[in-house]
Structure 1
Amino acid sequence: MLILLPPSETKRDGGEGGSFDSKSLGYPSLNAQRRVLVRELRALARDPEAMMAALKLGRTQAAEVQRNRALTTSPTMAALDRYTGVLYDALDAPTLSAAARDFAGRHVVVHSALFGPVGALDLVPAYRFSHDSRLPGHPLKKHWGGAVSQALAVAEGLVLDLRSEAYVALGAAPAGSESLFLRVVTEAPGGQKRALNHFNKKSKGEFTRAILEHGRVFASAEELLDWAPTAGFRLHRGAPGELELVV
């Protein structure tokens, strides 16, 4: 089983791990692409104005330039702890049990725009780089798409895709009946369903945490659907290839 999570633009500072080493990350077939983007992003950081334009940063976010300049020398921490924001606040990785963290290390992947998919416990530095960042000469869909899809194709069993559609565009999950995109929806009194945008992140974080604490490898979508109500979630099949989490 594999759970694919999106990253977050906001990240914790610091870390207790050593400096960044792409060879320590999961999916080593992506290391060449990782090194290219890290090298080019650090080079761009020498020109703060150009970097702020490429990353669509405001004046109050100038510190993000220094983060990128120090990419290869700053301390690292587990990806699941590095990311903050609505989804990761709801997941609350620092309070997971040891067993749940171990489960996450084996079954959760975070899809970074800079590093591609990384394991939940892979060590990454603080950085700023998103799916819509514009690194000259390296359009991200072309840079990542095929390579990420090929890397993810080795996944076995149920694949639960909680990424945003913008990150799906940087590398599709494996095709198949047991590869399912999770869409968070709200239901009106008349039964009409509407997809949520920003506010879906909290539900995704809570749902992921519940799976991690449960610690069970779901062999199929049916097993997941049977379990969800016992954990307090309304989970249904949606459009082909999708599940709907009703909130």
Structure 2
Amino acid sequence: MAGPVIALVDDDRNILTSVSIALQAEGFVTRLYTDGLSALRAITENPADLGVFDIKMPAMDGLELLGRLREGGGGAATMPVIFLTSKDQEQDEAFGLAAGADDYIAKPFSQRLLVARIRAILRRADMARRPAEGESEEPVPAVIERGRLLMDPARHQVQWAERPVTLTVTEFMILEALAQRPGVVKSRNQLLDVAYQEDVFVDDRTIDSHIKRIRRKFRAADNSFDAIETLYGVGYRFSDG
């Protein structure tokens, strides 16, 4: 049985080859693309289970590629994505998360770390998908209703005031953690524990970027959305009032 399919997009063929070999050794199936344009066409027609995109590429960079995929609908719109960023371009991290990426890794990177993060994200995606497809006998997670918010973890579906909102796997996990206990403050570290369950090193400010992205998506459905509150120096909480 074939393993999860990983779409690798990078204009550096040496990186593509070395990462592909490492992932195949771990049981993954890889598809390689050296530019964003060819990756956009292929992934739109046949989405992978997860994408690993370099940000700095000619013609169409990783940010534009992800944005086009997220706007296109279908399976490609919700495909988890990890960005590879240049170590000397720290702003890439914020841009990548703001564009809807699930994670980022700075170059040069450990292939072991990349594999760990891929597995962590795929595990979360699988948890969201399996009960809805009847592939697991585990109890189906309960639907969460909080004011105008409706979350169905089994189907990875979110609605606000009966309007659908599309979230990445990481965004869904963060919002779910907040919505499960309205009014209770969650620190950045607590939300990191939810979003990154593997032994990986992630700046706690990563959560801020995810929260901004979540708010932006909900405000696209309802400009008055203010259910996620910031308590400066403390963390975040969900209000269903």
TM-score normalised according to structure 1 size: 0.33
TM-score normalised according to structure 2 size: 0.34
Higher relative contact order (CA 8 A, sep 6+): 1
